[in-house]
Chains A and B, each alone.
Chain A
Amino acid sequence: MATQAATGLPQSIEETMALLEAHDYLAGTALATVLFLALRMKRPLFLEGEAGVGKTEIAKVLAKALDRPLIRLQCYEGLDVASAVYEWNYPAQMLEIRLSEASGKVDRKRVESDIFSERFLIRRPVLQAISSNSGRAPIFLIDELDRTDEAFEAFLLEVLSDFQVTIPELGTIRADEPPVVIITTNRTREIHDALKRRCLYHWVDYPKAAQELEIIRRKVPGCNATLSREVIAYVQRLRTIDLFKNPGVAETIDWATALTELDRLALDPETIADTLGTLLKYQDDIARIEGAEGRKLLSEVKAELLAAS
């Protein structure tokens, strides 16, 4: 227990929630519990959810709150060991061989161990995360894992269960203290069960109205109370209809910021039509909401707010 207090990890679910809130991230009980457990059980946290619900943000906030370095691995199709784990500095190696030739001493063993030494090793995110020697384990964010392919997923299995990486020329590198791993996916592809089994799973959902209102209050300070209430009610209503892509929290923040910048005090059909691009990202959806359906939605929202006040 004493060591945990020293590393600054939260000691309870409430503390976890307070810690995140202090850095302007509002987490529900479920998320706080999972996060607390991931930290205590030293297991990777697997976050799945629609785009723009704040999955990546959790890792960033956690790094800030725990005052630890954040190492981010952005996944993409065809991500390979050379760009994810390590690479040798080939020009420098060539130069080294040339130099040893010029100085006349050619000892095969010596040259080999010189060439493949840590000096010439370029550390990519995975290696950085497990060989960090700053004394505190970093937050290791593996972002959008679904964008890469199964081969890389299989490689991650070793990293995530033993926190070690094997470099043929150098040997096995093991983490002194395992990093806090956070994996996010948008579900554009199913991740294999074997990987998920090693993690704690959490589905990040859209926030409830009250929570989203609080998020806007914190993230867009200039947004007045009436406008933000209308914005939230409108967005929440928008999520209930059958759109191709529902707006996430990030879009809500963008929209509120845009409206604030335009000095609007309340929503009206023209303003919505002008700024809809910040909220909806597909032409089909925009065309639908710009028309009669959007007007109906707005009048419903206004009536609802009037009834509530």
Chain B
Amino acid sequence: MTEAREQHRDDVPPQIATGDGRLADNIVFFARALRRAGIKIGPGAIADAIDAVALIGIGGRDAFYAALQCVFVKRHEDQPVFDEAFRLFWRSRGLVEKMIAMMSPLAPERESERQQRRAGETRVSDALLSGHEADRPPRDEPEIEVDARFTVSGRELLRRADFAQMSAAELAEAKRALSALTLPMDRVVTRRFRPSKRQIRIDPRATMRDAMRFGGELILPRFRERRVVHPPLVVLADISGSMSQYTRIFLHFLHALTEERRRVHTFLFGTRLTNVSRQLRNRDPDAAIDDCVATVKDWSGGTRIGETLHEFNRRWSRRVLGQGAIVLLITDGLERDDVADLEIEIDRLHRSCRRLIWLNPLLRFDGFEARARGVRAMLPHVDEFRAVHNLESIGELVKALSGQRSRQADPRRFLDPGRATVTGAHGRWQA
């Protein structure tokens, strides 16, 4: 939304016919503040809010709050932002209190002590005071250049990342490579039907409709079959320091994947878990990746696989792993925290999804042995272990995911040294 348009709207308040013009205006202002704070609100919702408040009358703060909330909040995540906005907006103006005071002799709410900044407070106060404070300089970001590629740490290091933009040629290449992607067990039969030529299952509705063309004299059978779709795909990608050189490829791969398939959920993790599914849905790859960069706070920091998996299991697994999802876990498995916790969490993840595929890009040499504690803890709990050598393009990534036969990707092969038969010329890689 451009500044000019916003300005124009402020000049011309919408005409809303209700008994109390002041209240309607205030609701419009409130909605605008919420919108700036990042809650999606359409014009219809504002009209609904005015209706709702008119219907409940001014009963009490709770009812007033509930009425606005049920109209404006459509996602549970928006709740804290709404709470904070409601508290700030309707307290500072003292509107609710004034109206309640007019209607009934209720004691005004006492000012509650503030111990810490609440969730959404910064965003809301920015939204309410935009223009006054929005121009303040961004917080100083320490410019630390640490080459942490081959070191693992559980330390939280908050940094921003900067990725080279994608060229047109790369984009075309990515699209082409992606069309060759075939994940294992990537088709599920649904309960829905589609017309079919195969004469196995009669479609009574189509048969009947067809028969009517001949006045019911001639009833020719029509057939149908079960529709086949891709199950949802959930990607958990490691963006810690040891993985940083691959992150750009992954992000572009994930963006292209999100564009191609409808149900893709993407989470990035280093020391914390970030859901970037919405950001990646942006059509433009560079804009999408810029959005991701802005959202994720722990680029190229340490790794806490167990902890982030725990958060995923608790907060997200039941929301995104329904309907037989395939989980693609992209990490080198170099865990610093307690491996026992990691094992519990990966086990839980394994049992909540249809297929767990682990893609490990740190295999620079052919003779990989699972020596790292994290790797050993995770291997027994994945269905497939896919390895990439020299990951430099999306094409190679796609090849790793769809090229190998499933037997070669059996994780047990890597746990039992006797069965690992391939020995590379470059020596064995050990962790």
Contact = CB atoms under 8 A, between A and B. Distances in A.
Interface in A50-91: 76-80, 82, 87-88, 90
Contacts of A284: 344, 348
Interface of B: 40, 42, 44-45, 48, 51-52, 55-56, 59-60, 62-63, 65-67, 69-71, 73-76, 79, 190-193, 204-205, 207-209, 211-212, 215-217, 219, 262, 313-314, 318-323, 344, 348
Interface of A: 12-13, 29-31, 33-34, 36-37, 40-41, 43, 46, 48, 76-80, 82, 87-88, 90, 93-94, 97, 100-101, 106-108, 111-112, 115-116, 146-147, 149-151, 169, 186-190, 193, 196-197, 200-203, 242, 244, 284
B54 to A, nearest CB: 10
Contacts of A12: 59
B357 to A, nearest CB: 21
A41 B48 contact: yes
Contact of B55 (A41, A80, A151): A41
Query: Chain B contact residues: over half helix, strand or loop, or mixed?
Result: helix
A203 B60 CA distance: 20
Contacts of A150: 262
B45 A197 contact: yes
Contacts, number: 129
A189 B320 contact: yes
Given A29-B63, A78-B190, A100-B216, 17 more contacts: A13-B56, A29-B62, A33-B67, A40-B55, A79-B191, A112-B212, A149-B323, A189-B323, A190-B75, A196-B74, A197-B45, A197-B74, A200-B52, A201-B73, A203-B73, A242-B314, A284-B348
A77 to B, nearest CB: 6
Nearest to B52: A37
B66 A34 contact: yes
23 contacts: A30-B65, A34-B66, A34-B70, A40-B55, A46-B74, A77-B191, A78-B192, A79-B191, A88-B205, A97-B219, A106-B216, A108-B215, A112-B216, A187-B76, A188-B318, A189-B319, A190-B75, A197-B42, A197-B44, A197-B45, A201-B70, A203-B79, A244-B348
Given A78-B190, A112-B212, A189 B322 contact: yes
Contacts of B344: 284
Given A37-B55, A244-B348, A190 B323 contact: no
B66 A90 contact: no
A78 B208 contact: no
Given A97-B216, A115-B216, A188-B322, A37 B67 contact: yes
Contacts of A203: 73, 76, 79
Q: List 4 tightest A-B contacts by C-beta distance, closest first.
A: A78-B191, A108-B215, A33-B66, A97-B216
A172 B196 CA distance: 28
Contacts of A202: 70
Contacts of B56: 13, 33, 36-37
A80 B192 CA distance: 7
Nearest to A190: B319
A12 B59 CA distance: 9
Nearest to B323: A77
A171 to B, nearest CB: 15
